[in-house]
Structure 1
Amino acid sequence: MQINPGRTIHLETFKDILKNSGPRKNVNSCILIGAPPVKKKLLTIGISSVQHPQRSYLLDTLQSLFFASSPSERKHILVLVHLADPDTKWLNQMVSNISSLFKPYIQTRQLVVINTPLKNYLPLRDLKKTFNDTHTYVAFHSKQNMDYAFLMNFATNHSDYFLMIGDDVKCAPGFVTQIATVLSAWEYKPYVILEFSQLGFIGKLFRTKDLPRFVNFLLLFYQELPCDYLLSHFIDLLKQNKPIQFFPSLFQPMSNYSSFEGKFNSLKGKELKENDIGPPNNPAASIYTSLKTANDSLLMNAYSLDENFFYSVGAKAGSHLTVVLDVPAKVIQVQVLTGSGPKWENQLKEGQVELGYDSFNRNNDCDGYILLGLLVNGILNKQVLSEESGKKVKCVRLLVTATVPSEIVVRHINLWVR
């Protein structure tokens, strides 16, 4: 039967079929590299990869993923790669490359690579054509649906959430923290998926408890439609009325070619364009700190737009520097720079930046904070991820998370407000 949102009788039938779905025990996916984590993680990041006619970007994607996340962020994720091409030569080469390039992440159980033998796949011959697609394309998207289904089936028990990305994407720095912040805010809200990219199947996040139903859905209708169309129908089936999208996109394609026969694809998401938002426009604010000021350094230097810096003699875990805006504003980007000199000495390497909101009109603080991101090499430069409309920010807090015995320098706290 053809899926159609208007055929509610069929949709209700499918809902009953899927209600008690569990992981498929008869799928014999095997581990090629690594071992699953001993304890359940927050997030599994799933990648399904096959040979590309132009070139493979899988290794670039993995490098971008690990470089865009800090050591503390990587403790909360599992990267799961499904090598889904039956070509033995390609498979062995990819296993060799991944094993040598990403050994540290394999040893810490942060990277697992799997393969699913072809005997587990449903028939790929005599598939029915839909929408006048060629037999070759129908076979391609039918196999791709099963590739994704077997990947998600393996991922079901290893984390609380599952994020699907492509095998040719670039990841935004700090994307793990940004996603974790959203998950905290949406923990008790109903949704089927959250979208961290607007392109196809990239950046789609599920609760893992929903994966078995979607796995079965993909396998029930594997030959009907491509996966992103099936996902749209699955969302309708579970009554999510509209997309829940977050901007800017955290994942961008590295190439303009799809996996299918080198087909050109000019789609682009709403990228983070650091150079087109102009200079920071720090609004009027007061500055408060529990840091010990060095010599005659002025606290306001940390927030000024000139070249003056703020110096502090040591910092205890839990100490802070907080910018409190005179008038709450919609903050679209935050930049925190620490350290000085040609080698950037005196950086604050163990710290995080939080956004504060105020419901009670407090004078010098906020009554609630959410994590924006962790400092990486003493720096944070991040757009504020929001849904269609974000609350106005009153406080921006730099929080020290581990005691620093030496001097630290806060060069700039820069805000862009709209």
Structure 2
Amino acid sequence: MRRNRLFCGTSILVIGVIAVNLLFVLQLFKIQDSRMDMMEATFIRERNARDETSMTQQRPGSDPTVRHSTVRDTTVKDPAVGGPTVNNNDRNNNVTIPTNHDDENPNLSHKVRTAQSWAKPSEKVLEQSLVLGSRRKSSGFLTIGIPTVQRETEHYLSQTLDSLISKSSPKERSDVVIVILLADFEEKKRSNLKKMIQEKYSSYLENGFIQVIQVPLSFYPPLENLKSNYKDSKTRVYWRSKQCVDFAFMFFYGSSLSEYYLQIEDDVYTVNGYLAAIRAFIKEKSNIQWASLEFSAIGFIGKLFHAYDLDKLATLAMIFYEDQPVDWIFRYFKDLNAQHKNLVRNPSIFQHKGFQSSLKEKDSKKLVDKSFVDDDQVEFVSADNPSGTVYSNIEAFEKYLPQLSYKNTTEFFWGKKPQKDDDVVLVFDKPTQITRLVIATGSSQHPADILQDAAVEVSPELIHSGNAAVLPKCSTFVEVGQFSHGRVELEMEKIFTPRVACLRIHVKDSQKQWAIIRQIAIWVPH
């Protein structure tokens, strides 16, 4: 009996030991399976990372609008940006979009990109993006960012630059930088804008006041198969997504140039003392924490940031480039920085003037900031202007020909860089007695384009007629007045009483600034 109980006890003990060993073995298998799963997951992550790296390396050589595609190694250095690569097939502005393999699987349309995709470019890349002008050695007070594209017919950029220049002093400009971003993909359009800027603003490029940049193609994330939020058209989604990326690059570039950064558009004008107004508003708000101050109530015009915040704002724009318009991202940025109220200066100091949007399908209705007060309204006076013909050896810009200076309309003669001894000659059909004379240069949109050093002369006799290539020849000219601040007003009946056959504007010193002769107004006896 005792032996049976002992045998049973021994059997139970053995079974228990075996069970424990089995459980241990099963646990080992479970751990091993877990390790295998972890190894497999790690392998997949590493493989995906290699694939992502491969695609990132290929992307500079491909069209920036393509999400994923197989690209041949036919890339060359792009001299326009000092290094980023472009596809040889795109050299003639014929951008070919290869087949997008994501279309085969809709689940791949919005892959999550790595943090590297929206990282700040290296300092070398930022320096290479500068295509005109030079960086200043020390940082200043303010950087003004202006993204621009070439419109179909309008030329807004020069008007904006003229306003910024003429409404500020040389001392103020020494502490300010204007950064212009050429946002067109087409090289021809970029070249047109660069040529205009070089011709008209060479002195400002030389001293670092104006810097012109363009975004390396390798910086752009995919611009195809984008999310269609808010029921926007594909064209609009592409336009606003690219705009987010362009702005982000500007923010990255401007983050080290000055203490503050101001974003405006390329079709605005400002008021006298705008820089002093910005300084005063910053000082007024110095007792509170703010992420942005606003100097216009519309769009992304006149938005001011601390330079140290620009990298964060740029990163936010890159992360959500296909999800939100850039001006909405700006609003979210303020909220994220605990600024829940708009801090807008009133009156505003920037007014939007453009009718033609960079997006063709966008409503061309002019946006007006109702809080803006214009300090430079121009009135055209009524004059007799007896018939005559205007000649000039100053090169005219496009359709702005010399004869337009002698019409009682808002049209004008726009000349490129008047040189010493250049002339504008008005020949009357019949010699005319003049009682009063007013010649106005510059305009409300181009206030800096004035004749800086010139005189008004008259002659009583025409000797030889002129033509488009040769100025007319008149007898000895008599100087009757000089320009002051781009304008001359003369009571001629007190200065020169004989009849006048030729009236001449004579340039006494060369200037780099272009000149607009807005109106030659002449009164005769009645």
TM category, shorter: 0.5 to 0.7
Residue 262 of structure 1, CA deviation: 5.7
Alpha-carbon distance between aligned partners in 1 of 2:229 and 2:120, rounded to the nearest angstrom: 29
Cα gap change, 1:64 to 1:274, in 2 (>3 Å): closer
Other-structure match for 1:157: 256
Please say which of residues 253-262 and 109-118 is displaced more in the overlay.
253-262
Cα gap change, 1:22 to 1:210, in 2 (>3 Å): farther
Residue 54 of structure 1, CA deviation: 4.0
Residue 247 of structure 2 is aligned to residue 141 of structure 1: no
Q: Which amino acid aligns with 2:327?
A: D
**Structure in which a larger fraction of residues adopt helix:** 2
Output one character per residue of 1:73-95: Cα deviation in whole Å (capped at 9) or x when no partner. Answer: 11110011111111111111211
Alpha-carbon distance between aligned partners in 2 of 1:160 and 1:235, rounded to the nearest angstrom: 18
Q: Which amino acid aligns with 2:253?
A: F
Q: Does structure 1 conserve the Cα–Cα contact (< 8 Å) formed by 2:271 and 2:350?
A: yes
Residue 173 of structure 2 is aligned to residue 74 of structure 1: yes
Alpha-carbon distance between aligned partners in 2 of 1:274 and 1:167, rounded to the nearest angstrom: 20
Q: Does structure 2 conserve the Cα–Cα contact (< 8 Å) formed by 1:197 and 1:249?
A: yes
Q: Does structure 1 conserve the Cα–Cα contact (< 8 Å) formed by 2:223 and 2:242?
A: yes
Alpha-carbon distance between aligned partners in 2 of 1:103 and 1:52, rounded to the nearest angstrom: 22
Other-structure match for 1:268: 368
Q: Which amino acid aligns with 2:134?
A: A
Q: Does structure 1 conserve the Cα–Cα contact (< 8 Å) formed by 2:146 and 2:264?
A: yes
Q: Does structure 2 conserve the Cα–Cα contact (< 8 Å) formed by 1:22 and 1:213?
A: no
Residue 331 of structure 2 is aligned to residue 232 of structure 1: yes
Q: Which amino acid aligns with 1:271?
A: F
Other-structure match for 2:308: 209
Alpha-carbon distance between aligned partners in 2 of 1:182 and 1:261, rounded to the nearest angstrom: 36
Alpha-carbon distance between aligned partners in 2 of 1:111 and 1:187, rounded to the nearest angstrom: 28
Give the unaligned 5+ runs of structure 2. 1-114, 378-437, 439-484, 486-526
Give the one of 242, 266, 272 matched to 1:167. Answer: 266
Alpha-carbon distance between aligned partners in 1 of 2:157 and 2:366, rounded to the nearest angstrom: 19
Other-structure match for 1:25: 122
Residue 273 of structure 1, CA deviation: 4.6
Higher Cα radius of gyration:
2
Residue 259 of structure 1, CA deviation: 1.7
**Structure in which a larger fraction of residues adopt strand:** 1
SS in 2 for 1:131: helix
Alpha-carbon distance between aligned partners in 2 of 1:37 and 1:79, rounded to the nearest angstrom: 12
Q: Does structure 2 conserve the Cα–Cα contact (< 8 Å) formed by 1:22 and 1:212?
A: no
Question: Relative CO higher for 1 or 2, CA cutoff 8 Å, sep ≥ 6?
Answer: 1
SS in 2 for 1:44: strand
Give the unaligned 5+ runs of structure 1. 1-16, 277-341, 343-376, 378-418
Other-structure match for 1:407: none
Q: Does structure 1 conserve the Cα–Cα contact (< 8 Å) formed by 2:272 and 2:375?
A: no
Alpha-carbon distance between aligned partners in 2 of 1:54 and 1:101, rounded to the nearest angstrom: 19
SS in 2 for 1:150: helix
Residue 196 of structure 2 is aligned to residue 97 of structure 1: yes
Alpha-carbon distance between aligned partners in 2 of 1:130 and 1:195, rounded to the nearest angstrom: 27
Other-structure match for 1:337: none
Q: Does structure 2 conserve the Cα–Cα contact (< 8 Å) formed by 1:149 and 1:219?
A: yes
Alpha-carbon distance between aligned partners in 1 of 2:264 and 2:271, rounded to the nearest angstrom: 12
SS in 1 for 2:345: coil
Q: Does structure 2 conserve the Cα–Cα contact (< 8 Å) formed by 1:53 and 1:261?
A: no
Alpha-carbon distance between aligned partners in 2 of 1:275 and 1:86, rounded to the nearest angstrom: 36
Residues 180-195 of structure 1: matches in 2 within 5 Å?
Answer: 180-195=279-294
The count of residues paired between Structure 1 and Structure 2 equals: 259
SS in 2 for 1:206: strand
Q: Does structure 2 conserve the Cα–Cα contact (< 8 Å) formed by 1:52 and 1:262?
A: no
Residues 6-405 of structure 1: matches in 2 within 5 Å?
Answer: 23-25=120-122, 28=126, 30-261=129-360, 263=362, 264-269=364-369, 270-273=371-374
Q: Which amino acid aligns with 1:69?
A: S
Alpha-carbon distance between aligned partners in 2 of 1:98 and 1:180, rounded to the nearest angstrom: 28
Q: Does structure 2 conserve the Cα–Cα contact (< 8 Å) formed by 1:54 and 1:262?
A: no
SS in 1 for 2:347: coil
Q: Which amino acid aligns with 2:193?
A: M
Alpha-carbon distance between aligned partners in 1 of 2:119 and 2:245, rounded to the nearest angstrom: 16
Residue identity over aligned pairs, in percent, reads 32
Q: Which runs of 4+ in 1 moved over 4 A?
A: 26-29, 273-276
Q: Does structure 1 conserve the Cα–Cα contact (< 8 Å) formed by 2:353 and 2:366?
A: no
SS in 2 for 1:153: helix
Q: Which amino acid aligns with 1:225?
A: Q
Q: Which amino acid aligns with 1:140?
A: W
Residue 22 of structure 1, CA deviation: 8.1
Output one character per residue of 1:286-326: Cα deviation in whole Å (capped at 9) or x when no partner. Answer: xxxxxxxxxxxxxxxxxxxxxxxxxxxxxxxxxxxxxxxxx
Alpha-carbon distance between aligned partners in 2 of 1:173 and 1:233, rounded to the nearest angstrom: 32
